[in-house]
Amino acid sequence: MIFNKDTAEKTAELLLQINAIKLNPENPFTWASGWKSPIYCDNRLILSFPSIRNYVRDEFAKNIEKQFGKPDVIAGVATGAIGVGILVAESLGLPFVYVRPEPKKHGRQNQVEGFLQKGQNVVVVEDLISTGKSSLMAVEALRSEGANIKGMAAIFTYGFGVAEENFKEANIDLFTLSNYENLLDLAVQKQYITEDQQSTLLEWNESPSTWGQE
């Protein structure tokens, strides 16, 4: 679910402007999972554009507090959401921790890095939601440390049905600055893509794991 329509449209436009999101239905990308995709999203580019990262920071801070109440801690999911998570925590005047994909193999073998007390209210910040699997693994790591997860806030989601099911099963409320639907509407409006290309992109979204396979 998006925080609000205006933010969703503005965020989509900014992501397209800096090529954080690339749309190429005719020459699809190949994801690490092996999926063929007409879209590629790299939200880490936001950090290189001060005015845009400040916009994302401010929208996150404002809407997190409005939607979840002010938490005790902001947690970022490594590695993509560490940078923006720190910005949000700084804006809200809150402690920050981040969550590794798995525990370290040495030292204290931490998966959650930073100071976190049992029972603290945490909002998790993520850069991108695809299936939600890695994001929810971070949630489980925080819960295993005794955190009370208020919800998750992400920059963008592809809006896959499997992600919705995964978040529902984990009992986690997910809100995003923008999403696939608003991105495509904005991309057509601003002539990044044609309506025919939009149809192709919508077809992919319905069955991303099999799209483009002969």
Binding residues: 100, 104, 106, 126-134
Name residue 64's beta-bridge partners. Answer: none
CA–chain centroid gap for 147, Å, is 20
For 6-60, give the DSSP string. Answer: HHHHHHHHHHHHTTSEEE-TTS-EE-TTS-EESEEE-GGGGGG-HHHHHHHHHHH
Annotated binding site for 5-phospho-alpha-D-ribose 1-diphosphate: 100, 104, 106, 126-134
Tell which residue, 125, 116, 133, has the closest CA to residue 156. Answer: 125
Annotated binding site for orotate: 130
Do 22 and 40 meet the contact criterion of CB atoms below 8 Å apart? yes
Residue 192 CB neighbour total at 10 angstroms: 19
- What's the first-to-final CA gap in the chain, in angstroms? 33
